[in-house]
Amino acid sequence: MRVLAAMSGGVDSAVAAARAVQAGHDVTGVHLALSRNPSSYRTGARGCCTLEDARDARRAADVLGIPFYVWDLAERFHADVVEDFVSEYAAGRTPNPCLRCNEKIKFAAVLDRALALGFDAVCTGHYARLVDGPSGRELHRAVDPDKDQSYVLGVLTTEQLAHALFPLGDSHKSEVRAEATERGLAVADKPDSHDICFVADGDTAGFLARELGEQPGTVVDESGAVLAEHDAAYAFTVGQRRGLRLGRPADDGKPRYVLSIEPVSRTVTVGPRDRLAVGRIEGTAPRWCGAPPGGQVSCRVQIRAHGETLAARAEIEGDVVRVDLVEPAMGVAPGQAVVLYDDTRVIGSATISHTVAAATI
């Protein structure tokens, strides 16, 4: 096949491209320039998309002997990922920008352009597996549970999966680094990026403050009593415990957590941990990695990128997904994704729009 290998400048995408070459595909490397003002150097595992990353990707392509290009998608990335991130926080929700990037950039903008240019597939360094099942190509969890990225790929459709390659799905990270060393790839020991790529210093609250400015409001308890003032409701997320700066301790002396965020009145409500227990999750804008399931389905769900899976029953009604959890989950934040699994297979995902407290079900 003619394969376009997305090369970030890290070890995973470099080894994924190398494996595509070894498999006999006609591979071309491409680095996605996603930052409007890329810095020259990254700091350890902070951020990505720097000029250094672009050079590392080019050097890896040279070692592999494949053509290499840089595609400037900075404006598209800013509109579809960065602005979405800011607007979601402004609305009191907690988005996942990596999931949005996979949906809007890597497997929409890039894949669409690749197909238009005559490529058959896009290859990335994601840790996930593709399995040809009875009803078409299926997305499954990676072999390495610590690196599994199927959660952030749960937005991909059957058509997109048909044109995707994830060569690392059957490997552990230690094996990938060892292979990179054997192949003479200079990125073999390069640290992984653990932060939001466009918030390279890791200060999400500071980034949002620069984008949205001060929006002062109050922190209240469930009775409505004012406990403190804050500079911006967008600096909080459901389930947060630290950094609340409350004026007085709870009557029982126990920690308090963010229970809800009301962006219009800029009110942040806090309370005891047991009030975070959620028994039902409602999601919208579902994306199915195969045929949409009908009616009710028993499954397991994941509500955080590296969280545990929870037993559940899901009911699909048009564009609404209702998930009843067998055991309550704590601190489920609207804006995140709920991803449905059948064992290791990804069924699909939806964006969490609403939760119902376990005590009220």
Q: Which of 101, 123, 289, 299 is catalytic?
A: 101
CA dihedral 166, 167, 168, 170 (to 10 degrees): 100
**How many Cβ atoms from other residues are within 10 Å of residue 324's Cβ?**
14
- List the strands of the sheet with 2-6, edge to edge: 68-72, 26-33, 2-6, 121-123, 164-165
Q: What CA–CA distance (Å, rounded) separates 313 from 301?
A: 9
CB 287 within 8 A of CB 324: no
Q: Which of 49, 123, 197, 299 is catalytic?
A: 197
In one letter, which amino acid is 187? V
β-partners of residue 72 are: 33
Q: How many helices (H) and strands (E) does the chain have?
A: 9, 17
289 is catalytic: no
49 is catalytic: no
What contacts 24+ positions apart, CB below 8 Å, involve 303-307? Answer: 303/329, 303/332, 303/336, 303/337, 303/338, 303/339, 303/352, 304/151, 304/336, 305/96, 305/98, 305/99, 305/151, 305/152, 306/151
Residue in the structure block whose two tokens are 């729009």: 353
β-partners of residue 329 are: 278
- Strand 26-33 to 68-72 pairing: parallel
Q: What CA–CA distance (Å, rounded) separates 115 from 118?
A: 5
DSSP 154: T
CB 255 within 8 A of CB 237: no
Give the closest residue to 178 by CA, choosing from 18, 4, 6.
18
CB 230 within 8 A of CB 224: no
Q: Which residues are catalytic?
A: 101, 197
